[in-house]
Amino acid sequence: MSKYYKNFPRRLVSALLVMGATMSIAQAGDRVEKYSGENRGKPAQPSQVNAKFQQECSTCHIAYSPGLLPAASWRKVMSGLDKHFGSDASLTDQEDKEITAFLVNNASNRWNASTAPLRITETAWFKHKHDSHEIPQAIWKNPKVKSPANCAACHQQADRGDFSERNIKIPK
Amino acid sequence: MFREFNVTLVCALVVVAGLISSPAFAQTPEEALAAIQSDAAKAASDFKGFSAARGENFFKTKHGNEWSCASCHTENPAAPGKHAKTGKVIQPFAPSANAERFTDPGKVAKWFKRNCNDVLDRVCTPQEKGDVLAYLLTVKK
């Protein structure tokens, strides 16, 4: 008994050290494993949004925030604009260069996977946040929603890169 | 010396006045049509001018693909349209309803290339472009 108490401070320190180490390992593991590494970056668009990006990428759909995909995805998207999800969305070389640089420089900084999906809706973070526990299937079938790519149907500030909970309004 | 100065001054005034009075748009839709007409004449030696009726037919007909021009711009080009896939609103196509249309040569070239590719899988001929613009210019608000 007395022996135990004599060693108590040392034991406590050891125990705390072990706990601390375990927690850091667990946290590091979380960081790597979250959404299998397919995590979006900071959703808000950078304060200095590129004017060309805003103009050219918001004609047919909202200008999707660069942080929603990794740099490799944006490079792929931008190299195939002549066949952009079924439409020709080609740009002049100058526009292409400027917009690609903006997208790549502001892409997700939390994406650790080697994957580079073309569609935001194919990413693990998107699927997780919009799974059937969160969003009942019926909502996707609402004509006002039309498609999961139609962020602004529910995320009312999506065109400004704001996807916060308080700005979600699911159409009836 | 005095005369030279005067000429420079007049030139400068003309340039400044031009800058102040120049319209916000780089060209009028009629000038866009004239440019297409010059291309059409170069492309075909038997070019006989544009036809609004042919343009309307071209605009409203599918050309082997899923979409016609009217799929997004609607059957009434003076009304707002809607992107056939995303549903995003497209401002009216007819210049009478939308003063910006056909005033930026870069945009005209960009969108003819894109949309002709979507609708016809190829570029449009100057004849086709001119017919469509001739039609759009007849559409009243």
In terms of domains, do A23 and A79 share one?
Answer: no
A150/B117 CB distance under 8 A: no
In terms of domains, do A76 and A144 share one?
Answer: yes
Q: How do the pLDDT tens digits run along chain B, 141 residues long?
A: 555 556 555 555 555 555 555 557 899 999 999 999 999 999 999 999 999 999 999 999 999 999 999 999 999 999 999 999 999 999 999 999 999 999 999 999 999 999 999 999 999 999 999 999 999 999 999
Residue A93 in contact with partner chain B when CB distance is under 8 A: no
Q: How many domains does chain A have?
A: 2
Task: State chain B's mean pLDDT as an integer.
Answer: 90
Mutate to test the interface with A, among B65, B67, B86 (most CBs of A within 10 A): B86
Q: A133 lies in which domain range?
A: 51-167
Q: What are A144's two structure tokens? A: 């006002």
B113/A146 CB distance under 8 A: no
In terms of domains, do A111 and A72 share one?
Answer: yes
Q: Assess if residue A143 is contained within a domain.
A: yes
A150/B86 CB distance under 8 A: yes
In terms of domains, do A55 and A31 share one?
Answer: no
Residue A74, judged by CB atoms within 10 A of its CB (0-12, 13-18, 19+), counts as buried
CATH homologous superfamily of B26-138: Cytochrome c-like domain (1.10.760.10)
| Helix, strand, coil percentages, rounded to 5, for chain A | 55, 0, 45
ipTM exceeding cut-off 0.90 for this assembly: no
In terms of domains, do A68 and A111 share one?
Answer: yes
Nearest chain A Cα distance for residue B48, angstroms: 31
Q: How do the pLDDT tens digits run along chain A, 172 residues long?
A: 555 566 766 776 676 666 655 555 555 555 557 899 999 997 666 677 899 999 999 999 999 999 999 999 999 999 999 999 999 999 999 999 999 999 999 999 999 999 999 999 999 999 999 999 999 989 999 999 989 999 999 999 998 889 999 999 999 8
Q: Which amino acid is at B89?
A: V
What span, in angstroms and rounded, lies between the C-alpha atoms of B118 and B115? 5
